[in-house]
Structure 1
Amino acid sequence: MTVEPDTTTNTEEPVPAEKPARTTKAVVIAWARRLLVVLVLAGAIYSLVSQWDEVSATLLSLPWQSVVLSTLMVVIGVFIGPVVWKIVLSDLGAPVRYIDSAKFYLVGQLGKYIPGAVWAVLLSMELAKEAGVNRARSFTAGLVATGLGVVASLIAGLAALPVILQGGEESKQLLWLFALLVVGLAFLHPKLLTWSVNLVLKTLRKAPIERRFTGVEVLKALGAAVAIYLCYGVHLWLLVNSLGSARFDTLVLCAGAMAISMTAGLLAFFLPSGLGARELVITAAVATVLPAGQAIALALVSRLMFTVADLGSAGLAALLSYAQRRRGIAPVPAED
């Protein structure tokens, strides 16, 4: 007797593996992240709306060409920011695409509109995690990028030093910032930079970085950071120029003033986006070439342009990231 082969086929589809249940901690973190984004957007929008009445009259009196070009220079400077992060992360052994660094840098920067520097750091770290960078490396990159930004701003800020020396007591109180330049330049040496970063990580009970920073990459990141402040200086000069001060030395002054103002705003971390500290420096510098009233108005107009640029660039970065995900271009898996 022959045994016929079993020709029946198993038509049952494989049962998909059940997704692991989300822990309470994961749910809380997810909702906290959403709440943080909402708070960040609300803070940025409030900053924009609250200044409108004070700025609108001066803004309407400015030539539209100057307004467009000035805003464009802010946008260019903002979009150079992710380049600094990309270079630093690559030097840390965590290369990312520009679009990914733009997402977690530009969107994360909206956290500065909430008082307390920690919000921008936390938001950037969470977004960097989605882009395949673990929190330790993103924290380290943020620390180094911030330090590079301060050094770059002080290098550009040297242009405003004569105005600070000739100004009143409030202006001269900023002179101590340049002491940071001497220290900062020394710590840009790869050995000292690696040692100082590892010291901070050790203090925070984090693992040290696996590789030493390289001099070429540090200089490239510093150059990109200086370019940011030069763009911001041109932005302010275009506004000043539109009101009748078109001298070349005014351009140098504006570059230095914007650089110092950004550092002053960064140090005033308890204020949303350094509100007030930045305007004080800009007003003091611009008031040397324009009437005080116009200087105050331009400082507020500059703040408005930065807020618009921050919101617009963050939205564009998030939109491009979403479009790439829809096309199946996913970031590398996140590290543990």
Structure 2
Amino acid sequence: MSSFSEKIKTFYARHSRVIKVLLYIAWAVLFAFLAYTVWKSRQQLLLYLVNANYSQFIIITIIYLIALFLAVLNWSVIMHAFDSAISLWMHAKIYLVSMVSRRLPGTIWYVGGRMLLYKHLGVPSINTASASGIEFIISFIADALLAAIFIPLGINLSKTLLIPLGIVVILGLYILQPTNLGKIMVRLKHPLAQPVRTGQVFGWLFLRIALVLTGGLMIFFTIRIFTPIGFDLLLFVLGARALSGAAGMLTYLLPSSMGASDITLLAMLSSIVPTPLATVIALLVRIYTTLFELIIGFIFFIILNKSFPFSILKSAKEEDPEEKLNEEYSEERLQEYQIHS
């Protein structure tokens, strides 16, 4: 076990109660920030909410839950390829707790939160980081592919502007080719728990594409809260959702996303609805998705806390046998690969 891991475990063991209180305070701050966002934008929202069709919220909630299920399933099957010893249900719980941290500036909170939770289960941090990287690539490919397909159907777009999207798709698929993926993990000295098949990679991509499409549907019905747009604009809205997702991915590793996803969505929607309304729609989507994530994440935070209480973390002096076994298994897999290659 590295000295860095020992220091972290010692710190958590000594300050477990304080950390638990801080975690609950963090949840309270996130809820307060959401309330502040709503209050600050109340004039814009109230102007349009007066004559809104609230029945659309029922459809939106159902679609959101479907999208969330697809997101959870996508992460669970990807992470299962990196560590098959942990149940899909545990993968799901960790995803639902850590997803809220995406709203914080920077990627470190999102990926780091996952790494910390999986580390407690004996999963090497490199495995969690690699799975998160695969999830990122899959997401980028799905967003770029759908944007390239749907946006030209809604507006006149120069074909040359589609070239960057095509490059992203080709490069991403090359990295995700099972042989290349296996070599990358071997170079990182943590071979995959089991060989990845081409069918698995396409399965991950299919789930992500389905997730992006449901997200686009959710935005479409959000627009219909305020104005009864026809289904002839659905394909364009799906493309707008995909392009805004790709824009958000471009700022994934920056300290702040700078609202790239929201700004892109706003710009795209402004071509079919008035700009003030497009602003309200982008804002409303951000508000209710954050609210859903906070509520569901907090519920599963409590559930996960019962699975392995955050206040009962191992001290640095106690070697984690599961983690040691995992590391030995990785070395074994590496030696096997080198013998057969």
TM-score by length of 1: 0.76
Q: 2:203 aligns with which of 220, 228, 237?
A: 220
2:128 aligned partner: 138
Residues 115 and 225 (structure 1 numbering): CA distance in 2 closer, same or farther, change over 3 Å? same
Work out whether 1:56 is the aligned partner of 2:39: no
1:274-328, Cα deviation, whole Å (9 max, x unpaired): 35211111112211211111011100001101111211221232244356679xx
Task: Indicate the SS of the match to 2:298.
Answer: helix
Alignment of 1:4-19 (within 5 A): none
Residue in structure 1 matched with residue 10 of structure 2 by the alignment: 27
Q: Find the counterpart in structure 2 of residue 260 from structure 1.
A: 243
- Asked whether the equivalents of residues 230 and 255 of structure 1 are also in contact (C-alpha less than 8 Å), the reply is yes
Aligned residues: 300
Partner of 1:111: 101
Corresponding residue for residue 330 of structure 2: none
Partners of 2:66 and 2:289 lie apart in 1 by 11
Q: CA deviation at 1:153?
A: 1.8
Cα 1:271–1:232 shift into 2, 3 Å? farther
Is structure 2 residue 167 aligned with structure 1 residue 179? yes
CA distance in 2, matches of 1:181, 1:39: 41
Distance 1:94 1:133 in 2: 10
Alignment CA distance shift 1:117-1:195 (3 Å): same
- The code of the aligned residue for 1:189 comes to Q
Q: 2: CA distance between counterparts of 1:280 and 1:222? A: 26
1:64 is paired with a residue whose SS is: coil
> Residue 219 of structure 1 aligns to which amino acid in structure 2?
F
Amino acid in the other structure paired with 1:266? M
| SS of match in other structure, 1:246 | coil
Deviation at 1:65, TM superposition (A): 1.5
- Conserved in 1, the CA contact under 8 Å of 2:244 and 2:262? yes
The one-letter amino acid of 1:184's match is G
**Structure 1 residue 82 corresponds to structure 2 residue 68:** no
Out of 135-144 and 208-217, give the one that drifted further: 208-217
The CA deviation string for residues 199-233 of structure 1, in whole angstroms up to 9 with x for no partner, is 5x3xxxx5343543211222222111111111111
Larger radius of gyration: 1
The equivalent of 1:45 in structure 2 is 31
Q: How far off its partner does 1:180 sit?
A: 0.9
Tell me the alpha carbon deviations over residues 96-115 of structure 1, each in whole angstroms, 9 at most, x when there is no partner.
Answer: 33331122212212222222
The answer as to whether partners of 2:64 and 2:215 remain within 8 angstroms in 1 is yes
Match of 1:17 in 2: none
Q: Distance in 2 between matches of 1:87 and 1:115?
A: 27
- Residue of structure 1 aligned with 2:276, choices 293, 304, 319: 293
Name the CA distance, whole Å, in 1 between partners of 2:27 and 2:191.
34
Higher relative CO (Cα under 8 Å, sequence separation at least 6) belongs to 2
In the other structure, the counterpart of 1:100 is: 90
Deviation at 1:36, TM superposition (A): 7.8
- Give the match's secondary structure for 1:279: helix
Bigger CA drift: 113-122 or 39-48? 39-48
Q: Tell me, yes or no, if the aligned pair for 2:101 and 2:110 is still in contact at 8 Å.
A: yes
Distance 2:57 2:268 in 1: 20
8 Å CA contact 2:122–2:322 kept in 1: the answer is yes
Task: Name stretches of at least 5 consecutive residues in structure 1 with no aligned partner.
Answer: 1-22, 327-332
> Are 2:230 and 1:240 aligned?
no
Give SS of 2:227's match.
Answer: coil
Alignment equivalent of 1:192, drawn from 170, 180, 183? 180
1:281 aligns with 2:264: yes
Instruction: Name the CA shift for 1:185/1:335 in 2 (closer, same or farther; >3 Å).
Output: same
What is the distance in 2 between the residues matched to 1:251 and 1:63?
18
Q: Deviations over 1:133-187 (max 9, x none)?
A: 332322221111221111122222224432797479xxx9896344211211233
8 Å CA contact 2:63–2:217 kept in 1: the answer is yes
Q: TM-score, normalised by structure 2?
A: 0.75
**Correspondence for 1:230:** 213
Q: Percent identity?
A: 21
Question: What letter corresponds to residue 48 of structure 1 in structure 2?
Answer: L
Q: Which one of the candidate residues 230, 245, 249 is aligned to 2:232?
A: 249
SS in 1 for 2:323: coil
Aligned partners of 1:128 and 1:323: how far apart in 2? Answer: 15
Q: Is the 8 A contact 2:45 2:280 kept in 1?
A: no
Unaligned runs of 5+ in 2: 1-5, 310-320, 325-341
Q: Equivalent residue of 1:257, what SS? A: helix
Quote the offset at 1:255 in angstroms: 1.6
CA contact (8 A) 1:82 1:98 kept: no
Q: Distance in 1 between matches of 2:77 and 2:234?
A: 29
Q: CA deviation at 1:41?
A: 3.3
Aligned AA for 1:50? Y
Question: Does the CA contact (< 8 Å) of 2:94 and 2:117 recur in 1?
Answer: yes
Residue 305 of structure 1: which of 270, 279, 288 is its match? 288
